[in-house]
Chain A
Amino acid sequence: MLLVAVIIVYPILYTAWMSLQEWFASSLTAPHFIGLANYRKIALADARFREAVGRTVYFTIVAVGAETILGLAMALLFNREFWGRGLLRTLAILPMVATPTAIGLVFVMMYHPSLGVANYLLSVVGLSPWRWTYSSQTALYALALVDVWQWTPLIMLIALAGLASLPREPYEAAHLDGASTLRAFWHITLPLLRPALVVAVLFRAIDALKTFDIIFVMTQGGPANASETINILLFNQAFSYFNMGYASSMAVALFAVVMGASLILIKVRRSTTW
């Protein structure tokens, strides 16, 4: 019990304490207390941090939004008995457990503008080539696509489990009343499925806000900071410049963002109207 508390709670308190100090781990001077100055800096003075926050939230909305729509569509499609159900679940699990670093590496090769298979596939279906992670305009979307590839199955699996537990009666009643499939979906399936969906979105949002591995491996926040999320900026502050105090205050801010997003989603779950 004590060990659990030490491992989980102590580092957090330490980070919170560090965030009130100015300290470069590379220098010999001891940390000194500067109160809330770090927070004032990130809130008011640091435009780069603000952009990173916007980018992080935007990345999360794009990635999780796409995952939810795709995952829900797949769950609705696969919610029936069919040959190969086990195979489907196996395939769904694979991307989620695959090492993100390795997957990022494979996508880097696939995204190569002239030699990558991604642009070749685009040209086969008649689309013009993209610059993927090699252009500041598309980098964030290319990264979100990797996230979508990896995590859509998670939403699908949670939604499938939710669908499996739905009662049959409302559908029979709706059918008798002559409601269309679409209306039944909109008025029965979606509201009943909402708790499961919110849980799925919640977990995905928490993790997407914290995405680090694939961004760091594939772009390091570039090109020209176009994919620099809070995590990447914070990592560089802490471990390239060893600006520990400032980085700690960013870590607390990131935690606040993640926590805020979680609370909003939990509230959505509780409220009665969709």
Chain B
Amino acid sequence: MRGGRYPWLSTAGFYGLAALFMLPTVFVFYWMITLSLKPQVEAMASPPSFVRFSVTMAGYREVFTKYPFFLYTWNSLVVAAGCTALGLVVGLPAAYSIARWRQQRLAVVILVARIIPGIAYLIPWYIFFRRLRMVDTYGALILTHLIVGLPIIIWVMISFFEDVPADLEDAALIDGCSYFSAFWRIALPLVKPGVVATAILSFVFSWNNFLFSVILAGRSTRTLPIAVYTMISYEEINWGTLAAAATLITLPVLLVALLAQRHIVSGLTFGAVKQ
């Protein structure tokens, strides 16, 4: 639809403006990746080189040899996967029952959980886990990351479950199905796209989480964001190495998000946009 509502804007002008708007988005990622491939001299060169530079893998090599980066990656994976799995096990039935029996009060609790600052949770969790000597365990991290993931899973899934016609389950119940198998065999398969999307979101949020992990992760369970943060504190470190670490953390979530982008928007907007 050329011109459309704004006939004064030519096609060329439109693409020019579009490029201008999207340039910063692309540039930051471009800069991160190129910086990670530059040798130290060029990374800090002035004026900086945008296109022509010599490519080196030194930054990446350093990330893996100087720091236990594999361990950090593994930690991040375990925590994010554990948090997502647990979140689905708890969140799906919760969302289902809120949707089916219109438990508005519980829905409000979920919404409030989205509003409450994470740090208000961190203080009691910290005291609690210290008493149980659970600081620096996967369990503590997974449980705390649930705070971020669970409200999103439940909130987004409520609207998915509401779209499933209740007649289907009623028919199953009349045929002698239990409530659980009505949920498991009928409702759940119908909302599969939603489950995939919320699982990915929950994974991404846990992967990105900094606040909970910086306090509750210790030497052996440190996740990637914390590892990067501690790297910054060494002032003399290579920019190439820092950028390599940043790239390594960001790329997995970017890839995962790309695969499921259709549904992710509705989760990111907490259900405000349905695709």
Contact = CB atoms under 8 A, between A and B. Distances in A.
Interface in A233-257: 234-235, 238-239, 244, 247-248, 251-252, 254-255
Nearest to A160: B273
B239 A109 contact: yes
Interface stretch (A39-47, A61-69, A73-81): A73-81
A268 interface: no
Contact of B269 (A1, A102, A154, A238): A154
Given A80-B4, A91-B22, A157-B269, A262 B124 contact: no
Chain A facing B: main interface SS: helix
B15 to A, nearest CB: 8
Given A109-B242, A117-B31, A157 B273 contact: yes
A210 B127 contact: no
B85 interface: no
A217 B242 CA distance: 13
Contact of B211 (A109, A153, A212): A212
Contact of A252 (B32, B48, B120, B269): B120
A154 B28 CA distance: 17
B73 interface: no
Interface residues of B, number: 86
Q: Chain B: interface secondary structure? A: helix
A80 B210 contact: no
Interface in A191-224: 196, 199-200, 203, 206, 209-210, 212-213, 216-217
A15 interface: yes
Interface in B48-78: 48
B250 A181 contact: no
Contacts of B113: 8
B122 to A, nearest CB: 7
A203 B254 CA distance: 22
A12 B127 CA distance: 13
A226 interface: no
B121 A11 contact: yes
Given A8-B147, A18-B124, A97-B264, A106 B117 contact: no
B28 A8 contact: no
5 contacts: A99-B224, A100-B208, A103-B250, A235-B211, A239-B215
Which 10 A-B pairs have CB atoms at the shortest separation, nearest pair first?
A: A102-B246, A101-B225, A14-B124, A251-B120, A11-B124, A97-B257, A161-B273, A80-B4, A213-B210, A99-B208
